[in-house]
A and B are shown apart, each in its own frame.
Chain A
Amino acid sequence: MTKTTITLKINGATRTVDVEPSDVLIEVLRDKLGIKSPKIGCDRGDCGTCTVLLNGQTVRSCLVLAVEADGGEIVTLEGIGTDGLTPLQKAFIAHNSFQCGFCAPGVTLAATELLRKNAQPTRDEIKEAIAGNLCRCTGYTPIIDAIEDAAKPANKKTKAKK
């Protein structure tokens, strides 16, 4: 097999990296580029812990070949909140949204994409948007509450958890 060199814009910085045609994006991110926030929960598209944004869309980086991403723009958790926490991240903290945190990078990216595309999502739209991101610890409620709050900062008081 022949190595190819690909170029990715990752969290704003241009990186080139040598990959095998069979290399999967998550391996390249984690092992070759040292970007550790995408996690491997299943390595076959079932859990969402490897979620990253590729050209503005969430993808499961365990299902994308690195060569497919060549020339693309990737955002991982490392690229979110670089100038201070985003309102979404602040809401996650205020709602105690995560326990072990293993799902948090993927959930954050899925919710970031949702809010970018739909500034006022309903509760059902929020659930739908993160339904592909499994979380075994929290029961999702504090995650959904936080996304709802981040979407409607004016309503923070009324929506905060009882």
Chain B
Amino acid sequence: MRYVGEALALVAAATLAQARAAAAAVVVQYEELPALFDMAAARQPGAPQLYKENNIFKELHITRGDPAAAFAHCAAVVAHTYRTPPQEHAYLETQGMLAVPQPGGVMQLYGSMQCPFYVRDGVAAVLGSTLGATQITQTSTGGAFGGKEDVPSLPAAHAALLAWRTRRPVRLIYERDEDIICTSKRHAAVIRSKYGADRDGLLRAVEIEYLVDGGAYATLSPIVLFRGVVHAAGPYRCPNVRVDGYAVATNHVPAGAFRGFGSPQVLFAAERQMDELARQLKLDPVELRRRNLLRAGDATITGQTLHASVGATDTLDTALAYVREHPLAPPPANAPHLKYGRGLSTIYYGVGLGVGGEYLARTGATIQINHDGSVVFAVGTTEIGQGMKTVLAQIVAEALGVPFASVEMLPTDTTRVPDSGPTVASRATTMSGNALLHAAGQLRERLNAVAAEVLGRAPLQISLHHGQIFADGAPAALSFAQLLHECAVRRVSLSAQGWHHPRPLKYDWQTGQGDTYVVFSFATNIAEVLVDERTGATTVLRVTAAHDVGKAISPAGVEGQIEGGTLQGIGYALTEEIVQANGVIRNPHFSTYIIPTACDMPELVPLIVEHPFPDGPFGAKGFGEQPLMGVAPAIANAVCNALSISQYELPLTPERVWAALHSA
């Protein structure tokens, strides 16, 4: 056993009470081996070896220019070590699967998940069956946030094994504490960061060491690390960069995917560093950012030139303008212990799987128009509360020219479309959207050809909007129902498959130079806080969040993502921390792992900025993870400004803030 919470035996019973009794009757004898619960200890020479000689699952490096030499010519240099805790997803629906053996040897699974194709591959491998004999259907999923990326393969495989053995349906649902103890977390991290700038505040050199605690199995750590190193220096230009990233093996529960995927940790450090640098240069932190932010034509730290859809500065200006025009009421005069502070962060997010997961970056879709005019479509990505269903239905309706209300999405199921990769990395809108556009294009060609024939026009003269047919822009004497009838008479297929993959990326894994993601989204968060100087407790008054999303296909959906992500960011900033002692999670309940309640939600101002992405559906680029990513650094900067302190560790609990105030 490599971590507390790893499965040892599987028990199935007719009732929960029996199952509990049977599980309690299992006697386990352990022989204890030396264990590692600390990344520094794991890297010590002579440390117990969990896998190979250095306890490193993966290392990644970015080298650009010559930072060591450049530091010598910098007017200001700041170097600090930052720490971030493991964060729990706290989706309200725990992991759950139902395995139902079908006649003919097919194993059918239903459950809460992001990535049915991962589950299919996992279950087939464990049962030794073919992918064809494994059918996975996603059911309504009560939140995921990355926690249902790879993890559901485990309960699915366990349920499937029991169902296979008993030849009966098996339901396996985690209890809350089991879920917190056994499933992945956001990686705990240590970030050593050194920034140097010239007198004008231009970044000249950056050196970052990024350590993530991968836990007992590598799982997604290599690719989490990749996103982390690429985002390590934030959305700024810098000619001399060295980033060294290490995913360290320990005996903690394996860490994995969580909204932001390795980037919130480094962005916390990066944005604190920018404020520390501004302090040293006696420069306004806004101005420092403005001078360094990436613009169209600039290159990232991996040397990737950003050609279009670079709204970084625009998000900064938009957020600042809002805050300037809507000042908050000053803190109460009779409470001098409440200190007001304002802090900001500007961040970016590489959309999609990127070069690290390029082999998975393809997706399929099918659309079928029924003869009554109803339209169903299926995709391989999943609705997990993020609103994909609505956005994709809008895309289908728009592309086919039919009413939104006539379009329905079928449940995502591995037998409906080819393997479409995971629903992660804010990729569902762009990937499934493009695959649907591909399918819809084929259907439109067929519909247009038939309409043209009936109307005696050329296909190019035909257009369709909201179920109405137009010839040369004028309403045609042909209803949509009649057109469908004409298609049926001609036996034209009104079902089509779409497929999409992004353009290939070129990246040198030795130097860490090249193209990493097809496009980046950008965001500026401004946090305003009141800190109680007597207790160190922070109240967030307002978060103003401006996001460049390319194009907001569903503005209400975009706002919803900003609101929800911000709240998770507030939790990450102030209260959320999985506490482990000798590998045992001490707070596996919502009474001890504290997520924000309605009373903790500040005023939130979501602002949408649109710099269209030419390769995205209607200009959209994914962004669902980004709302979480910039919140903690903005709040941290606000707290530091309120009290004139420096903080290097999340969460900013009253104890930590109070201690920083009293050590200053």
B591 within 8 A of A: yes
Complex CA gap A45/B89 in Å reads: 19
**Contacts A139-B564, A142-B563; is A100 near B176 (CB within 8 Å)?**
no
Report A-chain residues with C-beta under 8 Å of the C-beta of B565.
139
A67 to B598, CA, bound (A): 32
**Is A49 interfacial (CB 8 A cutoff)?**
yes
Minimum Cβ distance to chain B for residue A22 (Å): 9
Interchain CB contact under 8 A, A143 and B598: yes
Asked, given contacts A44-B176, A136-B143, A139-B601, whether A100 binds B91 with beta carbons under 8 Å apart, the answer is yes
Q: Tell me if B420 is interfacial: C-beta within 8 Å of chain A.
A: no
A39–B90 CA distance with the chains assembled, in angstroms: 15
A144 touches B386 (CB 8 A): no
Q: Are A141 and B563 in contact (CB under 8 A)?
A: yes
Report whether A137 and B564 are in contact in the complex, using a CB–CB cutoff of 8 Å.
Answer: yes
CA distance A126 to B599 in the complex (A): 9
Cβ of B174 to closest chain A Cβ, rounded Å: 11
A141 touches B595 (CB 8 A): no
Asked if residues B590 and A42 are in contact (CB atoms below 8 Å), the reply is yes
Specify the chain B residue showing the minimal Cβ separation from A99: B385
Known: A44-B176, A139-B566. A100 touches B143 (CB 8 A): yes
- Cβ-neighbour of B90 out of A96, A99, A132, A136 (below 8 A): A136
C-alpha spacing A61/B593, complex, angstroms: 22
A98 / chain B contacts, CB cutoff of 8 Å: 385
Contact, CB under 8 Å: A140 / B601:
yes
A45 CB to closest chain B CB (Å) equals 8
Q: A136-B568, A140-B601 are in contact. Are A46 and B590 (CB under 8 A)?
A: yes
Interface of B (DSSP majority class): loop
A161 CB-CB contact with B under 8 Å: yes
Q: A46-B590, A139-B563 known; A134 and B386 CB under 8 Å?
A: no
Give the interface size class of chain B: 35 or more
Specify which chain B residues have a CB less than 8 angstroms from the CB of A47 in the assembled complex.
Answer: 92, 176, 590
B92:A134 contact, CB within 8 angstroms? yes
Residues in B with CB closer than 8 Å to A128 are: 598-599
A141 touching B93 by the CB < 8 A rule? no
The yes or no answer to B207 lying at the interface (CB within 8 A) is: no
CA–CA, A162 and B89, complex, Å: 29
Q: Does B560 contact A (CB under 8 A)?
A: yes
Chain B residues with CB under 8 A of A49: 92
B77-94 contact mask (Cβ, 8 Å, vs A): 1 or 0: 000000000000111111
Q: Is A103 an interface residue (CB 8 A)?
A: yes
Chain B residues lying within 8 Å of A46, measured Cβ to Cβ, are 176, 589-591
Contact across chains for B597 and A131 when beta carbons are under 8 A apart: yes
Do the beta carbons of A39 and B93 come within 8 Å of each other?
A: yes
- Measured CB to CB, the nearest residue on chain B to A49 is B92
Q: Which A residues are in CB contact (< 8 Å) with B560?
A: 96, 99, 137-138, 142
Taking a contact as CB atoms closer than 8 A, the residue among B90, B145, B386, B604 that contacts A141 in the complex is B604
A137–B142 Cα gap in the complex (Å)? 9
- Bound-state CA distance A136–B93 (Å) is 10
Chain B positions within 8 Å of A101 at CB level: 140, 142, 385
Instruction: Tell me if B211 is interfacial: C-beta within 8 Å of chain A.
Output: no
Q: Are A136 and B589 in contact (CB under 8 A)?
A: no
- Complexed CA–CA distance, A130 and B599 (Å): 9
| Interface presence of B664 (CB below 8 A) | no
A91 nearest CB across to chain B (Å): 14
For B604, list chain A residues within 8 Å (CB): 139, 141
Question: Does A41 lie at the interface of the complex (its beta carbon under 8 Å from any beta carbon of B)?
Answer: yes
Chain A residues whose C-beta falls within 8 Å of the C-beta of B568 in the assembled complex: 136
- Tell me which of B93, B564, B598 contacts A144 (CB under 8 A): B598
Evaluate contact between A103 and B92: CB separation under 8 angstroms: yes
State whether A100 touches B384 (Cβ < 8 A).
yes
Q: Is A43 on the interface with B (CB-CB < 8 A)?
A: yes
Contact B567 A41 (CB under 8 A): no
B568-593 contacts to A, CB under 8 A, are 568, 589-591
- Asked if B557 is at the interface of the complex by the 8 Å CB criterion, the answer is yes
- Among residues of A, the one whose C-beta sits closest to the C-beta of B562 is A139
Measured CA separation A102–B385 after assembly (Å): 9
**Complex alpha-carbon distance, A103 and B386, angstroms:** 15
For chain B residues 10-38, which have a beta carbon within 8 Å of chain A? none
Q: How far is the CB of B393 from chain A (nearest CB, A)?
A: 14
- Chain A nearest CB, measured from B273 CB (Å): 28
Q: Given A100-B91, A101-B142, A135-B598, 9 more contacts at CB 8 Å?
A: A41-B92, A41-B590, A99-B143, A100-B143, A101-B385, A102-B92, A136-B564, A139-B604, A141-B563
**What are 17 contact pairs spanning A and B, CB under 8 A?**
A41-B590, A46-B176, A99-B564, A100-B142, A100-B144, A127-B599, A130-B598, A131-B597, A132-B597, A133-B598, A134-B90, A136-B567, A137-B564, A139-B563, A140-B567, A161-B559, A162-B605
Q: What 7 pairs across the A-B complex have the smallest Cβ distances?
A: A100-B385, A102-B142, A139-B563, A46-B590, A99-B385, A139-B567, A102-B92
